[in-house]
Amino acid sequence: MTRLSVNINKIATLRNARGGTIPNVITAAINCQLFGADGITVHPRPDERHIRYRDVLEIRPIIKTEFNIEGYPSESFISLVLSVKPDQVTLVPDPHDAITSNAGWDTVKNRIFLSEVVSTFKKEGIRTSLFVDTEPVNIENAALTGTDRVELYTEPYAAGFNINAPQAVEPFVKAAVIARDNGLGLNAGHDLNLDNLRYLRQNIPWLEEVSIGHALISDALYLGLENSIQMYKRQLAD
């Protein structure tokens, strides 16, 4: 069964819009786990417009499942990850002002840099994953960095799903095969939702983990957090 990691950034965005501690990200992380999430994902950015570095430190002790920290490997981010020691770190190539992740790594151009960062984390026993697109060369060179996994950037799949689902998923299946053939574990994330998640999982049954935040938290406004998490898990179960 593919694991569901719930990204709680949107909880922090709502909190920060008003200030204070409501909604509380610690409580959200606790409840997501109680309601069946297999992991918690956070993506702190330099401007701390949603998850703050302090949040990451405070969340760590209450994680009973798996903790995944996403982010661009700046010096401050690397220091945070090394101090927190999450189960997994997902490296993304976001510029500092990105609204959300919108591209995978050019692992050819950045292979030496990524290799050094991956090595730093793996020495501390932290599983690493690189955010990549479906270009074979980027997946093959990701493997050369020593990373444990890649996370497929699924926005193009989501954008094309309602137009032509088989055509939209085809490059992702091919990329998943390349990742597997290169000894890489496989994650996926970005714009996955209750409409398109099951089809992706059915076409890539060896998918290990999906990280979902925006859609799941949005669904929770109407359906409730516990119900939403269980609905997403059902999409991954068959």
- SS3 string, the chain, reads CCEEEEECHHHHHHHHHHCCCCCCHHHHHHHHHHCCCCEEEECCCCCCCCCCHHHHHHHHHHCCCCEEEEECCCHHHHHHHHHHCCCEEEECCCCCCCCCCCCCCCCCCCHHHHHHHHHHHHCCCCEEEEEECCCHHHHHHHHHCCCCEEEEECHHHHHHHCCCHHHHHHHHHHHHHHHHHCCCEEEEECCCCCCCHHHHHHHCCCCCEEEECHHHHHHHHHHCHHHHHHHHHHHHHC
Mean pLDDT rounded to a whole number for the chain: 95
Whether the per-residue pLDDT at 88 is higher than 90: the answer is yes
CA 22, CA 29: separation in Å to the nearest integer?
Answer: 13
Give residue 6's pLDDT: 98
Determine which one of 43, 151, 155, 209 is catalytic. Answer: 43
Task: Please give the tally of structural domains in the chain.
Answer: 1
Give residue 102's pLDDT: 65
Determine which one of 50, 66, 190, 209 is catalytic. Answer: 190
**What pLDDT, in 10s, does the model give residues 174-194?**
999 999 999 999 999 999 999
Annotated catalytic residue 70: yes
Give the CATH number of the domain where residue 220 resides: 3.20.20.70
Q: What percent of the chain has pLDDT over 90?
A: 93
Determine which one of 66, 70, 151, 209 is catalytic. Answer: 70
Whether the per-residue pLDDT at 105 is higher than 60: the answer is yes
Whether the per-residue pLDDT at 99 is higher than 70: the answer is no
Whether the per-residue pLDDT at 107 is higher than 70: the answer is yes
**What pLDDT, in 10s, does the model give residues 3-17?**
999 999 999 999 999
Burial classification of residue 123, based on how many CB atoms lie within 10 Å of its CB (0-12 exposed, 13-18 middle, 19 or more buried): exposed
Mean pLDDT of the 138-155 span: 98
Residue 118 domain boundaries: 3-237
**What pLDDT, in 10s, does the model give residues 30-55?**
999 999 999 999 999 988 989 999 99
Whether the per-residue pLDDT at 100 is higher than 80: the answer is no
Annotated catalytic residue 124: no
